[in-house]
C-alpha cells in the first residue's frame, strides 16, 4: 500500500516533497507498512531507517 507523504518520524514535509528518485528524478510514494519510499518509474524502493530516507541506489531494493 502506497500513499502520499508525510513519512512517519520525519517532521519536515517540504524536505520530503523535494526528494526525488536518484535514478529517474521522479516522484516518490510512501509505503507505510514497509517504511520505504517507492519510485514507480525506476521500480525501486528506498528504505527509511530511524526516520531517515536512505536514497542510495545500492540500498534500494528492486520492485516489480
**Rounded (10°) CA dihedral 3, 9, 14, 20:** -60
Average pLDDT over residues 6-31: 78
In this structure, what C-alpha cell is assigned to residue 37?
Answer: 519510499
Look up the CATH number of the domain holding residue 12.
Answer: 2.20.25.10
In this structure, what C-alpha cell is assigned to residue 61?
Answer: 531494493
The 10s digit of each residue's pLDDT in 30-46 is 888 999 999 999 999 99
Instruction: Give how many domains the chain has, as a whole number.
Output: 1
pLDDT class for 23, splitting at 50, 70, 90?
very high
9, pLDDT greater than 60 = no
Count of other CB atoms within 10 angstroms of residue 8: 9
Domain that holds residue 44: 2-62
Using alpha carbons, select from 31, 49, 27, 51 the residue that is nearest to residue 40. Answer: 27
Q: Which helix (H) or strand (E) holds 15?
A: helix 13-18
Amino acid at each position: 500500500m502506497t500513499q502520499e507523504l508525510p513519512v512517519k518520524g520525519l517532521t519536515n514535509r517540504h524536505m520530503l516533497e523535494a526528494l526525488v528518485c536518484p535514478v529517474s528524478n521522479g516522484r516518490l510514494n510512501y509505503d507505510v507498512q514497509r517504511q520505504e519510499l517507492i519510485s514507480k518509474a525506476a521500480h525501486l524502493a528506498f528504505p527509511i531507517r530511524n526516520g531517515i530516507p536512505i536514497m542510495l541506489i545500492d540500498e534500494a531494493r528492486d520492485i516489480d
